[in-house]
């Protein structure tokens, strides 16, 4: 008789020892989005920071309004508004040092402007005179990224490279709730955690991926919970509370800078406007939902805090609104000028050294342009 023929007599050897690679408990996000404004903790906040956040929020809201208006005037091809999400945009634009890098998506032009980019350069992609309107190295702002979540692995690679070179650089990568469903989101978070790369992943959960609501996007308890699966901490924050977002992002940046690796931050916010000016949001959501979020507006929240603590008066608020108007007027004026276009640019930057085939095609276009110019001159002479 073998052991297998004797029921109950066979005791398998214990399996090789197993233990979790990391303790999951400290990685878990809070049960509720973290809030500061309107709570007792807000009393300890730096008044100068609050006033700075307020000024940027007011300007940011005006910028969103102005950019949307420019689409109606035909000056922008399209504008994905961040109205309602200004607290996230402003905080993301302020928490980084100059040497750090920001990786924005197409909805994050406001964050790039807060970081110091000229709004006309930020809007180049959406005006359509070129793809990226600025030198990414000059501002340490990666090109606005259109294919969802594909910028996240770039942030990981850049942060990893900086660390290999011994540079103290953090990358902050922005993505929306829809973008978290993309494979690149997963690959980026996994790489970042394995490499302990100094990256902060910032999910602005604005409730919609164009028309598709959250419930059809994920079954996870929250996006912040996804962090645990990668072995990094997840933080859940009220995305309309500028002070809370600023604090949570700052902590994540500090943590990354200190060598502790990446953090996933989810900010719960709401996209007040449609996906873009070309979208019709009435087809997929009720006005009552929007109104509920308007009552939790990021500017109002901060304004109540500031006025309640008498850190700002009506004159101070008016001064901020006037400053925002001046910025909007400047943007309007400059965007109303036709951009300088050179069709030959189409061939200039495809390769470091132009191929024979592209040289030939460039010559063809140049000849077409010359011919068109001549016939226009002749038409002019005939009139």
Partner 1 sequence: MTTAAVRSGHKPATMAQALGRALRDAMADDPSVHVLGEDVGALGGVFRVTDGLAKEFGEDRCTDTPLAEAGILGAAVGMAMYGLRPVVEMQFDAFAYPAFEQLISHVSRMRNRTRGAVPMPVTVRVPYGGGIGGVEHHSDSSEAYYMATPGLHVVAPATVADAYGLLRAAIASDDPVIFLEPKRLYWSKDHWDAAHPETVPGIGRAVVRRPGSSATLITYGPSLPVCMEAAEAAVAEGWDLEVVDLRSLVPFDEETVCASVRRTGRAVVVHESAGFGGPGGEIAARVTERCFHHLEAPVLRVAGFDIPYPPPMLEQHHLPGVDRVLDAVARLQWESQWTSAGHEGGAR
Has 54 been annotated as catalytic? no
Reduced to 3 states (helix: H, G, I; strand: E, B; else coil), residue 205 is strand
Among 59, 107, 115, 154, binds partner 1 (CB under 8 A): 154
* Element housing 175 (H / E): strand 171-176
Residue 216 structure tokens = 């059809």
User: Segment near partner 1 (CB under 8 A), from 42-50, 51-59, 156-164, 294-302?
Assistant: 156-164
Which region among 74-82, 179-187, 215-223, 325-333 touches partner 1 (by CB under 8 A)? 179-187
Asked if residue 181 binds partner 1 (CB under 8 A), the reply is no
Helix (H) or strand (E) holding 346: helix 345-348
Q: Which of 111, 113, 117, 159 binds partner 1 (CB under 8 A)?
A: 159
Q: What is the CA radius of gyration of the chain?
A: 25
Catalytic residue, candidates 52, 186, 225, 284: 284
Question: In whole angstroms, how close is the CB of 355 to partner 1 at the nearest point?
Answer: 4
For residue 275, indicate whether it is catalytic: yes
80: exposed, middle or buried (Cβ count in 10 Å: 0-12, 13-18, 19+): buried
User: Is 271 a residue of the active site?
Assistant: yes
Residue 122 as a binder of partner 1 (CB under 8 A): the answer is no
Q: What residue has token string 């999910």?
A: 203
Under the binding rule (CB under 8 A), the answer on residue 143 touching partner 1 is yes
- Within 13 A of 362's CA, how many CA atoms are on the CB side? 14
The site for partner 1, by CB under 8 A, has a size of 41
Residue 187 within binding range of partner 1, rule CB under 8 A: yes
How far apart are CB 139 and partner 1 at their closest, in Å? 11
Residue closer to partner 1 by CB (options 111, 141) is 141
Regarding 344 and contact with partner 1 (CB under 8 A), the answer is no
| H helix intervals, the chain | 47-72, 86-94, 109-114, 119-122, 124-127, 136-139, 151-164, 183-195, 226-230, 242-257, 287-294, 298-308, 314-335, 345-348, 356-382
User: What length does the chain have?
Assistant: 383
Give Cα 368 to chain centroid, integer Å. 41
Q: Which is nearer to partner 1, 153 or 179 (CB)?
A: 153
Q: Is 147 in the site for partner 1 (CB under 8 A)?
A: yes
153 binds partner 1 (CB under 8 A): yes
Scored b (16 or more CB within 10 A) or e, 82-119 reads: bbbbbbbbbbbbbbbeeebbbbbbbbbbbbbbbbebbb
Choice from 345, 363, 368, 374 touching partner 1 (CB under 8 A): 345
Q: Is 135 in the site for partner 1 (CB under 8 A)?
A: yes
**203 phi/psi in degrees, rounded to 5:** -90, 115
How near is the Cβ of 175 to partner 1 at its closest, in Å? Answer: 13
Residue 224 structure tokens: 């912040």
User: Is 174 one of the binding residues for partner 1 (CB under 8 A)?
Assistant: no
Give catalytic residue positions. 271, 275, 284
Residue ranges binding partner 1 (CB under 8 A): 130-132, 135-137, 142-143, 147, 150, 152-162, 164-165, 171, 183-184, 186-188, 190-191, 194, 345, 348-352, 355-357
């Amino acid at each position: 008789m073998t052991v297998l023929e004797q029921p109950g007599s066979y005791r398998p050897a214990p399996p090789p020892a197993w233990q979790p690679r990391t303790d999951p408990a400290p990685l878990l996000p809070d049960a509720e989005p973290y809030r500061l404004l309107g709570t007792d903790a807000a009393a300890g906040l730096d008044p100068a920071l609050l006033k700075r956040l307020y000024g940027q929020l007011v300007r940011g809201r005006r910028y969103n309004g102005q950019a949307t208006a420019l689409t109606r005037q035909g000056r922008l091809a399209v504008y994905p508004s961040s109205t309602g999400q200004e607290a996230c945009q402003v905080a993301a634009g302020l928490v980084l040092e100059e040497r750090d890098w920001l990786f924005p998506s197409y909805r994050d032009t406001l964050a790039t402007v807060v970081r110091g980019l000229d709004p006309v350069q930020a809007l180049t992609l959406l005006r359509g005179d070129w793809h990226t309107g600025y030198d990414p190295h000059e501002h340490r702002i990666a090109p606005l990224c259109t294919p969802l979540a594909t910028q996240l692995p770039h942030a990981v690679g850049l942060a990893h490279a900086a660390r290999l070179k011994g540079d103290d650089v953090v990358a902050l990568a922005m993505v929306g709730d829809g973008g978290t469903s993309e494979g690149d989101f997963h690959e980026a978070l996994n790489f970042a955690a394995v490499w302990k790369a100094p990256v902060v992943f910032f999910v602005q959960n604005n409730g919609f991926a164009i028309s598709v609501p959250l419930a059809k996007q994920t079954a996870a308890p929250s996006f912040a919970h996804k962090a645990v699966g990668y072995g990094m901490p997840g933080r859940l924050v009220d995305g309309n509370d500028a002070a809370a977002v600023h604090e949570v992002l700052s902590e994540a940046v500090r943590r990354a800078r200190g060598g502790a690796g990446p953090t996933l931050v989810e900010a719960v916010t709401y996209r007040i406007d449609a996906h873009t000016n070309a979208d019709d949001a009435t087809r997929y959501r009720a006005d009552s939902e929007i109104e509920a979020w308007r009552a939790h507006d990021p500017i109002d929240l901060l304004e109540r805090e500031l006025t309640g603590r008498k850190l700002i008066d009506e004159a101070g608020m008016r001064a901020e609104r006037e400053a925002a108007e001046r910025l909007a007027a400047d943007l309007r004026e400059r965007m109303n000028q036709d951009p300088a276009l050179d069709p030959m640019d189409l061939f200039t930057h495809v390769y470091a050294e132009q191929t024979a085939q592209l040289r030939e095609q460039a010559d063809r276009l140049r000849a077409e342009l010359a011919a068109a110019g001549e016939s226009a001159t002749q038409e002019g002479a005939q009139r």
